[in-house]
Amino acid sequence: MILNIIFLLAFLVFAYLNLNDKDAWLWAPIYAVAGICCGLAAFKITYPYLYLGLIALYLFYAVILFFSKDGVLDWIVKYRTPSLVETMQATKPYIEKAREFFGLLIISAALAINYFASVGAGVRP
């Protein structure tokens, strides 16, 4: 329960912080939906199929970010993993894509935790 409250608050803050980006239409809902799922799970309201669907969608997008031009693979191989947190302003596309990639992994992990917790608790998917 406490972990879900932490995820809820963090994801809602991330959604809010993304409102000033040019791609807010994409990232604010991604974080808000994950936050709402975690908030509901904190109160034992679970949707295992929704978690699986969102995980699939988010991981699919993460793979796209990984292999895209100036994506995560380029950040690792071509640019030799410069810091992602030196400045909050992502001035280079590979930094933005790497941050987005890791955000999607964090969201997917939180939803996976909720999926396995709900299935383990006997909730039918």
Q: In 3D, which of 87, 70, 88, 89 has the Cα closest to residue 79?
A: 70
Longest Cα separation, the chain: 47
Distance CA 115, CA 82 (A): 34
Q: Dump the DSSP string for 69-83.
A: TTSHHHHHHTS----
pLDDT per residue, tens digit, the chain (125 aa), is: 899 999 999 999 999 999 998 999 999 999 999 999 999 999 999 999 999 999 999 999 999 999 999 899 988 888 877 777 666 566 788 888 999 999 999 999 999 999 999 988 766 66
In a domain, 33, yes or no: yes
Q: In 3D, which of 98, 95, 32 has the Cα closest to residue 67?
A: 98
Give residue 89's pLDDT.
61
Give residue 18's pLDDT.
92
Reading phi first (left if > 0) and then psi (alpha if -120 to 50, else beta), residue 123 is in beta
In a domain, 84, yes or no: yes
Give residue 19's pLDDT.
94
Using DSSP, state whether 44 is helix, strand or coil. Answer: coil
Range of the domain at 31: 2-120
Task: Give the number of other Cβ atoms within 10 Å of residue 62's Cβ.
Answer: 20
In a domain, 107, yes or no: yes
How many domains does the chain divide into?
Answer: 1
Give residue 90's pLDDT.
64
Distance CA 93, CA 106 (A): 20
In a domain, 125, yes or no: no
